[in-house]
Structure 1
Amino acid sequence: MPLSHPHLVEIRHDLHRHPELGMQEARTKAFVAGYLRDLGLEVHEGAGVVGILRSGTGNRAIGLRADMDALPITEQSTHDYVSQNTGVMHACGHDGHTTMLLGAAADLAATRDFDGTVVFLFQPDEETGHGAKAMIDEGVLERFPVEEVYAIHNLPGAPLGQISTRPGLICSSESLFEITITGQGGHSSMPQVGVDAITVGAEMVQALQTIVSRKLAPGAGVVVSITEFLTNGQRNVLPGQAVLKGDVRARSPEDRAQVETFMRQITAGIAAAHGVTVEVSFVTEFVESMNATAPVEAVARVGTALGHDTIADRPPMSFSEDFGQFSAAVPGCFLLMGNGTEGAQGRPLHSDDYDFNDALLPLGAAFWAALVRDRLPTDKKG
């Protein structure tokens, strides 16, 4: 039977008090593994936690993913379950995601009213994009093969319980770049005898914006952001070295590859014009998250049947999601579920006063359980 709302809240608040950064989720993993074992699930621990629940004789299997990690943010909330780990906070709602999936596991373990296997995937380190790959590299999809995989993320600012998703691209990729410029430092009173790396770097900052405005098709949805400009200069010392760091979001692998190509061309050209050397590192941390049609249709069908305001053709999200590693390997669906519009529940994700909406817990748990019954029906239809 479903967990009571107070029980779900108790779990979520406990997880919120004890947030852990990616690949450091020792307490959270122990909590999740212990809870699943108490429900009678088969449990496997590695980079993350995997719970296996079987019912009936069906050979179909689906995967449900929740993320467990927190962020390096100092919480500014005043509620009585504020983070007890200084400088670490569940500012993205992963405490709620984990709780909803545990709630669904409890419901399904008690009823066993489905035919097949549910693989509960509790993933570490979603925030830096390493957790899904770590689980996949361990062989989770070979050891526990699934036909489809799903994930929920809460969405502040959207009405409570509203479900939105889309076929095709749902979340952008994220690539991190680092551009190192090596010129010739010198005295600030005699710039002509050196090559000031700040001047060269500033030119590159401006020129890199032409990738989006002039080299890619309008509406491509690419974002190029320089987020750090570091030098070895001092008050009267012109820097001989500068480092530009930043972030690229793209909606297709082709656009992502073009951005890297243009970035290397632009920086090499400016470096040649000024007689300096330049090195460029471009590393993709998150691939694009792609939704498959059948899983999206299932999500829309279940959401509508449960009475949720359901949108199956929302615009793609500009943020990135580690779920893309799973959906690149197995047909899947990443969906957003409204966290509410008021107070802390309406604050942007990653805000130091954001909070997951406890009213969403039973809605998410019930959705997960209903999705399993839809995809693994006992009447062998669907």
Structure 2
Amino acid sequence: MAVINRIAGFADEMTGWRRHLHQHPELGFECYETAAFVAAKLAEFGITEVHTGIAKTGIVAIIEGRGEGPVVGLRADMDALPILEDTGADYASVVPGVMHACGHDGHTTMLLGAAKYLAETRNFAGKVALIFQPAEENGGGGGVMVDEGIMDRFGIDEVYAIHNAPDFAEGEFYTTPGPIMAAVDTFHINIKGVGGHGAMPHETRDPVVAAVGIVQAIQTISSRNHYAMDDLVISVTQIHTGSAENIIPESAYINGTVRTFDPEVQAMVMRRMREIVEGMGPVYGVEATLEYEVWYPATVNDPDKTTFAVDVARDVVGAERVIGDSGREMGAEDFSYMLNARPGAYLFLGAGDGVGLHQPGFNFNDAIAPVGASFFARIAEMALPVEG
């Protein structure tokens, strides 16, 4: 089988939805217009059970099939990023400094396409729960939806999601059983010294020198405190201090990200970072404090559900266009909370050559929307077959 003919038949309509969403991006939990658009489309498709206001602007809609059966959850994220768009598209964002730079407009469109088809055909036994989630980029909307009880409230038994992947062959899927994306943490280090004239450093307690020393020491966590075969990334991404060439500042700020898969490695990083920050303060005669924030857990695919999802993807695009053991990567995803609550799988869908994610020139490839919609639809039909 290939892309479902009925879905291919309304591909132009899907492109229209996606470009409308692209023009009207929203951040975090504030996806009010997006949620209203989604709810209106679901009503237009004849879906009558639509639950709004979950995790502030999230939606769960239920499509009932033919007879009794389990409940399969299909999830799409809706939020955008605080980036000034530079695509030159005639449907570019009309919201200054906000754009869909990660393709969530496309993900929402793919799930809407599957919803339209499934509401028409209902060729499955059981129920499909359509999960439209806010705040994937920042805020952990997936975790909030789980905390608000969507899995139990709607009886969801298994759950699936896909993400577009620029620079991977258009229309090809890849995934892996077990861990596929890393846990993500954030650290903030504040340094308080004594400022003064740049010509008289002996009268100061220089936070700049302390910041440099702390950053260098942090790098030894990866190189000297953990086994090289255990995946770990520690990246210092911000250092803010100073105002002029002849002024030693009073304070400095360091910020960065930590990516891990193993909770023991994560705990080691937290311990060593605290030891370094607390120890280096006295070394440089400054006050240094660490705030360590544990964010999204690792995204872990259920092996059996991943095997099933790979079979579905092969049904849609062909066996030769699906990689089922691609290995893991260091990005992060709050779909991890849903996979912690229920078995399921997370897959990537190749978008072809183009600008990468989280960049001002990124634009979702509309050609893959029918592929993603067909995958979602076939997940439902193959997981919930109608007998007879």
Specify if TM > 0.5. yes
Q: 1:29 aligned to 2:41? A: no
Name 2:134's counterpart in structure 1. Answer: 124
Single out whichever of 330-339 and 238-247 deviates more from structure 2.
238-247
Is contact 2:171–2:317 with CA below 8 Å preserved after alignment? no
Name 1:43's counterpart in structure 2. Answer: 50
Q: 1:361 aligned to 2:369? A: yes
Query: 2: CA distance between counterparts of 1:227 and 1:30?
Result: 36
Q: 1:300 aligned to 2:300? A: no
Query: 2: CA distance between counterparts of 1:77 and 1:273?
Result: 49
Name 1:373's counterpart in structure 2. Answer: 381
Q: Residue type matched to 2:44 in 1?
A: D
| TM-score, normalization by structure 2 | 0.93
Q: Residue type matched to 2:51 in 1?
A: H
Equivalent of 1:8 in 9, 14, 20: 14
1:172-200 CA deviation, whole Å, 9 max, x = no partner?
Answer: 11111001112222222221222101101
Q: How much does 1:230 deviate?
A: 1.8
Is contact 1:253–1:288 with CA below 8 Å preserved after alignment? no
Is contact 2:301–2:339 with CA below 8 Å preserved after alignment? yes
Query: 2: CA distance between counterparts of 1:168 and 1:13?
Result: 34
Q: Residue type matched to 1:320 in 2?
A: A
Q: Residue type matched to 1:377 in 2?
A: P
Query: 2: CA distance between counterparts of 1:233 and 1:14?
Result: 43
Query: 2: CA distance between counterparts of 1:150 and 1:78?
Result: 33
Name 2:64's counterpart in structure 1. Answer: 54
**How many residue pairs align between the two structures?**
376
1:275-332 CA deviation, whole Å, 9 max, x = no partner?
Answer: 3222111102221111001210111111112234111111212211111111111112
Is contact 2:146–2:341 with CA below 8 Å preserved after alignment? no
Equivalent of 2:328 in 316, 322, 325: 316
Task: Write the mapping of 1:69-84 to structure 2, written as runs, cut at 5 A.
Answer: 69-84=79-94
Query: 2: CA distance between counterparts of 1:236 and 1:351?
Result: 36
Single out whichever of 130-139 and 328-337 deviates more from structure 2.
130-139
SS of the residue 1:209 aligns to: helix
Name 2:355's counterpart in structure 1. Answer: 347
1:123-180 CA deviation, whole Å, 9 max, x = no partner?
Answer: 0011114211221222222211211111100000011111111111111111110011
Query: 2: CA distance between counterparts of 1:250 and 1:285?
Result: 11
Is contact 2:77–2:133 with CA below 8 Å preserved after alignment? yes
Query: 1: CA distance between counterparts of 2:188 and 2:248?
Result: 21
Single out whichever of 90-99 and 211-220 deviates more from structure 2.
211-220
Is contact 1:233–1:240 with CA below 8 Å preserved after alignment? no
Name 2:340's counterpart in structure 1. Answer: 328
Runs of 4 or more above 4 Å deviation: none
Single out whichever of 50-59 and 197-206 deviates more from structure 2.
50-59
Is contact 2:205–2:286 with CA below 8 Å preserved after alignment? yes
1:14-33 CA deviation, whole Å, 9 max, x = no partner?
Answer: 11111111111111000001
Single out whichever of 183-192 and 58-67 deviates more from structure 2.
183-192
Q: 1:86 aligned to 2:68? A: no
SS of the residue 2:365 aligns to: coil
Query: 2: CA distance between counterparts of 1:294 and 1:43?
Result: 30
Query: 2: CA distance between counterparts of 1:203 and 1:68?
Result: 41
Name 2:3's counterpart in structure 1. Answer: none
SS of the residue 2:188 aligns to: strand
Q: How much is the aligned-residue C-alpha RMSD, in angstroms?
A: 1.5
Query: 2: CA distance between counterparts of 1:155 and 1:143?
Result: 32
Q: Which runs of 5+ in 1 are unaligned?
A: none
Is contact 2:173–2:349 with CA below 8 Å preserved after alignment? yes
Name 1:142's counterpart in structure 2. Answer: 152
Q: Residue type matched to 1:350 in 2?
A: H
Single out whichever of 300-309 and 12-21 deviates more from structure 2.
300-309
SS of the residue 1:37 aligns to: helix
Q: How much does 1:232 deviate?
A: 5.3
Q: Residue type matched to 2:100 in 1?
A: H
Is contact 2:50–2:62 with CA below 8 Å preserved after alignment? yes
SS of the residue 2:317 aligns to: coil
Q: How much does 1:262 deviate?
A: 0.8
1:332-356 CA deviation, whole Å, 9 max, x = no partner?
Answer: 2110000012xxxx21111111111
Is contact 2:28–2:139 with CA below 8 Å preserved after alignment? no
SS of the residue 1:105 aligns to: helix
Q: 1:230 aligned to 2:240? A: yes
Name 2:350's counterpart in structure 1. Answer: 338
Query: 1: CA distance between counterparts of 2:231 and 2:102?
Result: 23
Q: 1:284 aligned to 2:290? A: no
Q: Residue type matched to 1:327 in 2?
A: L
Name 2:283's counterpart in structure 1. Answer: 273
SS of the residue 1:50 aligns to: strand
Q: 1:177 aligned to 2:187? A: yes
Equivalent of 1:190 in 200, 204, 212: 200
Single out whichever of 205-214 and 227-236 deviates more from structure 2.
227-236
Single out whichever of 288-297 and 184-193 deviates more from structure 2.
184-193
Q: Residue type matched to 2:27 in 1?
A: L
Is contact 2:198–2:246 with CA below 8 Å preserved after alignment? yes
